[in-house]
Amino acid sequence: MSLRILLLRFGIAAAGGALLAFAATTPAAGVEQEDPRTSKQIVDGKVVARSGLILRSAPTRGGSVIRVARHGEIVKIYCRTEGQSVDGNRQWYLLVDGTWAWGSARYIAPFKAPRWCDA
């Protein structure tokens, strides 16, 4: 097989893969995307950690620090999931107020129960 045909086949395969990846990440026509900041599924919660709450990139104590929420701050909870236990509480909340960050449910008092992330 000549080098030209081999390169042609490789180019077609690469273009097909790029098209498939684009199609997988693009919503179908007429499908509306939910804006998490205005969703009716958002639940407010109050930070109850006296010294503030470290918000992280993952629902574990080892996640990178995104920011610190101060005591009494009202945060927007998108959903909840199971993660690393913090003082016996394994639930973590995904917050959407400016950044996507995880906060331990142990130190956030939600005004009503947030939905599960995988629901």
Which residues have CB under 8 Å from 90's CB, separation 6+? 82, 83, 84
- Say yes or no: 49 and 84 in one domain: yes
> Binning pLDDT at 50, 70 and 90, where does residue 4 land?
low
pLDDT of residue 99: 85
pTM here is 0.67
pLDDT, tens digit (0-9, with 9 covering 90-100), for 24-81: 444 444 444 455 545 568 999 999 999 999 999 999 999 999 999 999 999 999 999 9
pLDDT, tens digit (0-9, with 9 covering 90-100), for 76-89: 999 999 999 999 99
Alpha carbon distances (Å) from 105 to 6, 33, 39, 53, 94: 56, 27, 20, 10, 10
- Say yes or no: 1 and 50 in one domain: no
- Say yes or no: 5 and 63 in one domain: no
Domain span at residue 17 reads: 1-30
- Say yes or no: 51 and 22 in one domain: no
> Binning pLDDT at 50, 70 and 90, where does residue 21 land?
very low
Is pLDDT of 9 > 70?
Answer: no
Per the model's pLDDT, the better-predicted residue between 22 and 104 turns out to be 104
Is pLDDT of 10 > 90?
Answer: no
Looking up residue 56, the CATH number of its domain turns out to be 2.30.30.40
